[in-house]
């Protein structure tokens, strides 16, 4: 996977008219707080995002992540179960 330029990604989705403000807030949190520049991964569990985005419901966060995946901004892989690998959220750069 190519290296992530989180700031270019941030600028691009903030200018995207197809994304609502909640989705942009989730994507901003991912790019600013959770992005790994050297791997391109945005490693964050839903619980961690929920804690970081205080005031936003977990249902809204899930809906925003689905929209980002559906529109091609993210690629998401599920974990293998409790206690094993957490879900990964990655950009498609």
Range of weakest confidence among 10-14, 17-21, 31-35, 56-60? 31-35
Q: Is the pLDDT of residue 1 over 60?
A: no
Residue 74, classified by CB atoms within 10 Å of its CB into exposed (0-12), middle (13-18) or buried (19+), is buried
Report if residue 1 sits inside a domain. no
Residue 83, classified by CB atoms within 10 Å of its CB into exposed (0-12), middle (13-18) or buried (19+), is exposed
What's the pLDDT band for 3 if we cut at 50, 70, 90? low
Range of the domain at 26: 6-91
Report if residue 78 sits inside a domain. yes
Report if residue 82 sits inside a domain. yes
Mean pLDDT of the chain: 79
CATH number at residue 53: 1.10.10.10
Report if residue 86 sits inside a domain. yes
User: Domains in the chain: how many in total?
Assistant: 1
Give the model confidence (pLDDT) of 33-70 as tens digits: 887 777 767 777 888 889 999 989 999 999 999 899 88
């Amino acid at each position: 996977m190519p290296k992530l330029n989180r700031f270019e990604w941030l600028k691009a989705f903030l200018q995207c008219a197809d994304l609502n403000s909640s989705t942009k807030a989730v994507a901003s949190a991912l790019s600013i707080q959770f992005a790994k520049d050297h791997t391109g991964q945005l490693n964050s569990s839903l619980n961690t995002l929920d804690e970081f985005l205080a005031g936003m419901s977990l249902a809204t966060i899930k809906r925003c992540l689905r929209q980002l995946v559906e529109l091609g901004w993210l690629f998401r892989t599920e974990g293998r179960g409790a206690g094993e690998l957490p879900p990964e959220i990655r950009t498609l750069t």
